[in-house]
Amino acid sequence: MKNSEFIVGKVPITKEEVRAISLAKLDLSEADNFLDVGSGTGSVTVEAALKNKGIRVISIEKDPVALDLTRLNIEKFNLKNVVQIDGLAPLDLELYGLKDKYQAIFLGGTGKNLGKILSWSYEILDKGGRIVSNFILLENAVESYRLMKEIGFKNVELVQVGVSLLEELGGGHYLKPRNPIVIISGEK
């Protein structure tokens, strides 16, 4: 999906190229339950729900502005397979009537709870389930990689994605880079 399809504000969006790679690594084709932690604008939540009609997407966000943007995007696309939670992960999903295991988890934002969220994710992830997280700060990416291996995630992979867009400059063109993103994936 194009970024232009989403209602956006001052909340960062997972850019379409990075979102495409992250969703491919999550491989939601056989998933029943997908958890998006730190949904931001809701771009990952919405694209996952739209392209996988049989899936239930649980979208967690703590920031009121981001929570509202996610809600607006869910409504824009008239999604009925999304449950939105106003909260800070990790949280007790059973309080929301959600007792199932998850086949896929996306971490778009973890704040200062990275270690706790990764441990919690490991507990609620089905055996063979996948986790993918995006980082702009190298320190957080390296810490996540280390913690995932320590917690017991398998096939942990760290890749850096650099995307540049063609822009006009004077009488010519150049490739204007976006911030590089680190994508970390693993499975239980």
- At 2-29, the pLDDT tens digits run 999 999 988 989 999 999 999 999 999 9
Mean pLDDT, the chain, as a whole number? 95
* Locus of tokens 């867009």: 165
Dihedral angle at the C-alpha atoms of 15, 18, 22, 28, nearest 10 degrees? 60
- Six-digit token string for 61: 């966000």
Residue 135: strand pairing partners = 182
- At 69-111, the pLDDT tens digits run 999 999 999 999 999 999 999 999 988 888 889 999 999 978 7
